Structure 1
Amino acid sequence: MNTPIKFTTAEEAVKVIKSGDHVHLSSVASAPQCLIKAMCARGEAGELKNVHVHHLHTEGPAPYADPKFEGVFQLDSLFVGANVRKVTQSGYADYIPIFLSETQKLYRSGAVPCNVAMIQVCPPDKHGYVSLGTSVDATLAAIECADHVIAVVNKYVPRAFGQAMIPLSKIDLFVQDDQPLVEAKFSEPSDVEKAIGAHCAELIEDGATLQMGIGAIPNAVLAQLGNHKNLGIHTEMFADGVLPLVRKGVINGEAKKTDPGKMVSTFLMGSQEVYNFIDDNPGVLMMDVGYTNDPYVISQNDRFVAINSAIQVDLTGQVCADSIGTKFWSGVGGQVDFVYGASLSKGGKAIIAMPSITTKGVSKIAPVLDTGAGVVTTRNHIHWLVTENGAVDLYGKTLQERARLVISIAHPSAQEELDRAAFERFGSHHHYIKGYMQK
């Protein structure tokens, strides 16, 4: 089982890529930068054309998306991160709208080919297994379907358990490159974000299972949960905010029905402390995204709470988390997977949380969504909506009732205009004016 690995160089390894191939890159902190650099060098040398690149969000450089590679590399991402957003907006790259839970299905169904999977793994253990570390997501499916799998063996990739563990036999070519994983830093929550976090925390019961992603609002929620008991984690991703609650014993997974006692995720992004936390930790399972984001699996946990963000919400409860006008945002992600799963859970709560106005003072609650805005969570799926001004449950409410509730947590500076818009939309045939227009 301790057969030595035969390493090659990144430059030699990427020679398996042919013109017209589809290449998958492992995501987030685990993008294999030395292979990306070598692949792009082949492109600059005129050795490749029409190579399709696929990945979820990645941290670090994405040189294959540079306009100079038009006709050489075509980025068709499954989620658009900040490093490729500008080129996607300008038309030099594209993306495939897809629920996060189904990204793996693209490969397994053959809807998207995978000729070459380029991944990062930890050094092998004595049993001949390596770990995908922080990035399982759709990468496991890509490995299963690829004609060639190139793995960067990196001592900084944590040895994570669950479906992250794969045998060496799944890999065709090995490259060694000990480059520290990219770390993500998050600012302290603002007063508005703290208020949103407090409203969300009030909706979370002891014994709940949580999904809340990363960023200022999730961290603000987690900071409010120090006195809770027996919380669990089943999520697409988590970051540093969960660690104090794990150390305190608040997050222990004891009430979970799926994977009790375990934290479940499909990819991670955070500080080195997070990467150290999952290394050799049997309490964390890094799983295929088809499992973590399956609404049925999610719903098996009672009191499941899913907290997701939004760019804009209209008076009927339509949630845009994809784009506004012609400004491309990021993609659908896992919001619908978890909104639906939490809604099916016994005692579950699906929460959309956002500030009531943008940093430029524009209301994020609008009469109608902006032209071109992508409806991610439909008015049929939305339940709880939270801003710094409160929390309202829209489930089972009529359009007029929804409008009143949504306006009640809008920014005060926007409420009069929203009142007027709601009256024009709903008040001509009904008595909408009762409650808002009689101010």
Structure 2
Amino acid sequence: MTLPTPVRKGRASGLSGWRRQYEALRTTAVQAAEWIRPGDAVAVSGSANWPYAVDGALAERLRSLAGRIELLSLYAPLDTALLAPENADLVSYQANFFSGERLLAKQGNVWYVPAHLSATGDWMCARQPRAAVIACSPPDENGWMCRSLWGASVPRAVLEQAETVVVVVNSGLPSFSSGGEGHMLFHVSEADAIVEDSRPPAEHPPVPAGETDRRIAAYIAELIPDGACVQFGLGGLANAVGECLVDAGKRDLGLQTEVIGNCVMELMKKGVLNNSRKQTCPGQSVGAYFIGDKRLWDFARDNPAFCQKDIHWTNDPRRIAQNDRVVSINNAMEIDLTGQVNAESVGPRQYSGTGGQLEWVLGSQWSKDGKSIIALRSSYRDKAGVLRSKIVPQLPPGSTVTTPRTCVQYVVTEYGVADLKYKSVLERARALIAIAHPDFRAELSRNLLASLGTLL
């Protein structure tokens, strides 16, 4: 793969040779923190790429100066010093996807930004961050560092715009094959300061698939033809889909997705996923994030069968549609009888985020012979142990509509498949009731006319 050309001019870019530049940029965490000024907006790479080596020093600097900064990131770890309760008056945090953030929101300094994942770079740049602090793998023989596991949480456009870029070079972060438009590389000459670290990145072991997941996955596998280009995420359902694709003997599947997890590795090892029929990046599994454990990292490390791309590249619906037979698989928290999908909130309380769901719903349906699938369990038990339906007459007050009813195609539960595309609201309601939990079908039918009358 052809290497890119460095764009940004870092503090030591005038020195000849990246090794000399690297040595000139090496500094301590305390010194690196001094590059951040009170009042700055600062983009910070998230989750396994959280720059712990600078995190504590920057929090201490803010306390000593009584200064306040704005952090831009997503999937912030719960053990970060910057977001500790005692620093709530010093840090305002914004994210376009919540994980641990939902627990931190009660502090009053954590806010959700409604934005598609492909727009992560756009919304960060709109906040005009003066600085960025990211974590990368050690440089290769050409001085290129990989932004690695969660590097897409600070897209390259943000790094090129920022006045100051501090890089934590973590020896525990793996490097992945990348190149071309939307690449995930950052050159030593583009950095302003380098802090070395060896903290092991957080692993995310696969979630075992349950029986309900397997029943849903079996229906999904039937909708995926040989040669399809698939997109799916994490969790028990994604792992169950992988198992069912193997059991069904599917062949020549391709992958373009937000998140590459362990199930992708298993599908590649079994020869089910070989990317042989893709139109973009043929022969390569493409994704923005690698979320799994060390087994995945070791398998994907510098493996040319992968190509890591920035999130604006992977999730652009126009680019998604360049592949034929794209099948996107996304989860939902609940769906109403007209097909409105909530995948991110519990009533008005933000739980996760819009993510890339609508981008993949649109991109897959724009793809030649593509399909969009929304998957959810038909029911759940609340805190009191009472069984509740996830297919509801109307979404509860304050709930977010992640995917509008006009865009929904297939909906799958453990009880079957409902094809809603171009169906009337009455036909949609009947199709969804047919795949609801049996205990709720009669109640949903009784509420049908009243629900449709309210929403029309």
Aligned match of 1:121 in 111, 132, 136? 136
Moved more, 138-147 or 312-321: 138-147
Pairing 1:105–2:133 present? no
Partner of 2:227: 207
Partner SS for 2:141: coil
Q: Map 1:140-155 to 2 at 5 A.
A: 140-155=156-171
Aligned match of 2:28 in 9, 18, 23? 9
With structure 2 as the length reference, what TM-score do the two structures score? Answer: 0.90
Pairing 1:44–2:63 present? yes
Aligned match of 2:400 in 374, 381, 386? 374
CA-CA distance at 1:156 after TM superposition = 1.4
Partner of 1:437: none
With over 3 angstroms needed to count, the CA separation of the structure-2 counterparts of 1:179 and 1:427, relative to structure 1, is: closer
Aligned match of 2:307 in 265, 285, 303? 285
CA-CA distance at 1:39 after TM superposition = 1.5
With over 3 angstroms needed to count, the CA separation of the structure-2 counterparts of 1:144 and 1:2, relative to structure 1, is: closer
Partner of 1:302: 324
Q: Deviations over 1:168-221 (max 9, x none)?
A: 111110000011110012331111111111111111111011110111111110
Letter in 1 for 2:134: I
With over 3 angstroms needed to count, the CA separation of the structure-2 counterparts of 1:180 and 1:427, relative to structure 1, is: closer
Partner of 1:181: 201
Moved more, 17-26 or 379-388: 17-26
Q: Is the 8 A contact 1:88 1:328 kept in 2?
A: no
Q: Is the 8 A contact 1:52 1:74 kept in 2?
A: yes
Q: Is the 8 A contact 1:309 1:353 kept in 2?
A: yes
Letter in 2 for 1:200: I
Partner of 2:85: 67
Aligned match of 1:229 in 248, 251, 271? 251
Partner of 1:243: 265
With structure 1 as the length reference, what TM-score do the two structures score? Answer: 0.93
Aligned match of 2:375 in 329, 340, 353? 353
CA distance in 2, matches of 1:356, 1:63: 40
Aligned match of 1:131 in 141, 146, 150? 146
CA-CA distance at 1:124 after TM superposition = 1.3
CA-CA distance at 1:128 after TM superposition = 1.6
Aligned match of 1:389 in 402, 405, 415? 415
Partner SS for 2:58: helix
Q: Is the 8 A contact 2:89 2:109 kept in 1?
A: no
Partner SS for 1:54: strand
CA-CA distance at 1:92 after TM superposition = 3.1
Q: Is the 8 A contact 2:380 2:390 kept in 1?
A: yes
Q: Is the 8 A contact 2:364 2:371 kept in 1?
A: yes
CA distance in 2, matches of 1:418, 1:50: 51
Percent identity among equivalent residues?
A: 35
Partner of 2:282: 260
Aligned match of 2:447 in 398, 402, 421? 421
CA distance in 1, matches of 2:78, 2:281: 33
Letter in 2 for 1:150: V
CA distance in 2, matches of 1:77, 1:425: 34
Ranges in structure 2 where 5+ consecutive residues have no aligned partner: 1-16
Moved more, 337-346 or 65-74: 65-74
CA-CA distance at 1:90 after TM superposition = 5.5
Partner of 2:9: none
Partner of 1:436: none
Letter in 2 for 1:119: I
CA distance in 1, matches of 2:162, 2:66: 19
Letter in 2 for 1:144: E
Pairwise CA RMSD of aligned residues?
Answer: 1.7
Aligned match of 1:34 in 53, 56, 59? 53
Partner of 2:14: none
CA distance in 2, matches of 1:384, 1:330: 22
Ranges in structure 1 where 5+ consecutive residues have no aligned partner: 431-439
CA distance in 1, matches of 2:228, 2:155: 29
Aligned match of 1:80 in 98, 107, 118? 98
> Paired residues, what number?
425
Moved more, 160-169 or 203-212: 160-169
CA distance in 2, matches of 1:65, 1:59: 9
Q: Deviations over 1:320-373 (max 9, x none)?
A: 012122332111111011011001011111111010111332111110001111
Q: Is the 8 A contact 1:28 1:269 kept in 2?
A: no
Pairing 1:56–2:71 present? no
CA-CA distance at 1:58 after TM superposition = 3.6
Moved more, 315-324 or 153-162: 153-162
Partner of 1:411: 437
Partner SS for 2:241: helix
CA distance in 1, matches of 2:199, 2:78: 12
CA-CA distance at 1:89 after TM superposition = 4.8
